[in-house]
Amino acid sequence: MLSNALKRVGMLVAVLAVLCGLWEAFKWFGETTGLRIGAFEVNDRTLPHIYDIVGQLFEPSRRNGPMLIEVLWNAALFTAKEAAVGFALGASIGFVLGVILAHSRLLQRSFLPYIVASQTIPILAIAPMVVVWLGGRGFPDWFSVSVIAAYLTFFPVTINTLRGVTSVDPRALELMRSYAAGSFEILWKLRLPTSLPYLFAAFKIAATASVVGAIIGELPASIQDGLGGAILNFNQYYATSPPSLWATNLIAALLGITFFLIVVVAERIVVRRAPEHVA
């Protein structure tokens, strides 16, 4: 067990080192040969050194201000709150929708196309409307961001819930019917447990989508306190300090990975299946 864990950590470090190495090698190659791809030229502005990006985290974010990492940490916490609420909202709605659709072919046929269509509308088009709809209705400002995140979250959950609760072994259904089980009992004792691996697969997608949704949602909602706000801000100062934006992206990625890992851990705890069935 221990040596296995060590191996995995070792792999992680090795892959990370290789990626950083490739980055720096490409940078070195581009700079020494004067490589140009269209208008793209490799230099410290387009592709900062990794140590500059990481180092920037420990520089003051502005004159006499707190360190960048402190600013980004607070921004990440703020965005995490929006994303978590969005995830909870989206996953719940997605799940309920999936269960309802699973119980009626007619509903499935009538509503599924629109649910799919909902995901083809760019989130940037939806976001301002959500902000207008929810604005000044007693919700906190960040709640509209959560709703935007939920919009991205519910879809994979709906699709996989639908798939999961209908993928029940027909023999198991016969068994439940032979016990004169009602449809609620069948849902609770058979369909739901059967769908758990499907659900968690969706939760993994939804978890990262909720972070992306929250970051994007902050832009039209004009919320300054999150990572979206930070990205917008450092975008404006890119000319003078490229590593700040790169560092912000790094933190955003780490937040997404954290959300993903939380789902993975929850799955380990909740889903009891034959080892070969665990996704």
Partner 1 sequence: MSVVSLSNVKKEFGTGGVVALQGINLDIEEREFISLIGPSGCGKSTLLRIIGDLIQPTTGEVVVNGKSAHQARLDRDYGIVFQDAVLFDWRTVAKNIALPLEMMGWDRRKRAERVKKLVELVELTGFEGHHPWQLSGGMQQRVSIARALSFDPPLLLMDEPFGALDEMTRERLNLELLQIWERSGSTVTFVTHSISEAVFLSTRVVVMSARPGRIVGIVDIDLPQPRTADTREGPRFAELIREVRRLLRRGGGFDVEEPAGEEELIVAEEGLQ
> Looking at 114, 179, 236, 240, which residue binds partner 1 (CB under 8 A)?
179
> Looking at 12, 25, 77, 175, which residue binds partner 1 (CB under 8 A)?
175
**Which range of residues in 135-143, 170-178, 198-206, 239-247 is near partner 1 by CB under 8 A?**
170-178
Decide: 201 and 260 in contact? Cβ < 8 Å. no
Alpha-carbon span 192 to 198, nearest angstrom: 10
Per-residue binding letters, 182-221, with partner 1 (x by CB under 8 A): ---x---xx--x--x-------------------------
- Nearer to partner 1 by Cβ, of 102 and 219: the residue is 102
Shortest distance, position 273 Cβ to partner 1, whole Å:
5
- Nearer to partner 1 by Cβ, of 181 and 250: the residue is 181
220 half-sphere exposure, CB direction, 13 A CA radius = 24
Alpha-carbon span 86 to 153, nearest angstrom: 7
Instruction: Count residues near partner 1 (CB under 8 A).
Output: 22
> Looking at 120, 174, 236, 240, which residue binds partner 1 (CB under 8 A)?
174
In DSSP terms, which residues pair with 41 in a beta bridge? 36
* Interaction of residue 169 with partner 1, rule CB under 8 A: yes
Shortest distance, position 108 Cβ to partner 1, whole Å:
15
* Residue matched to tokens 């072919």: 105
One-letter amino acid of 40: F
Q: What is the 3-state secondary structure (H, E, C) of 2-61?
A: HHHHHHHHHHHHHHHHHHHHHHHHHHHHHHHHCCEECCEECCCCCCCCHHHHHHHCCCEC
Longest dimension (CA), the chain: 76
- Nearer to partner 1 by Cβ, of 81 and 189: the residue is 189
Binding site for partner 1 (CB under 8 A): 169-172, 174-175, 177-181, 185, 189-190, 193, 196, 271-275, 277
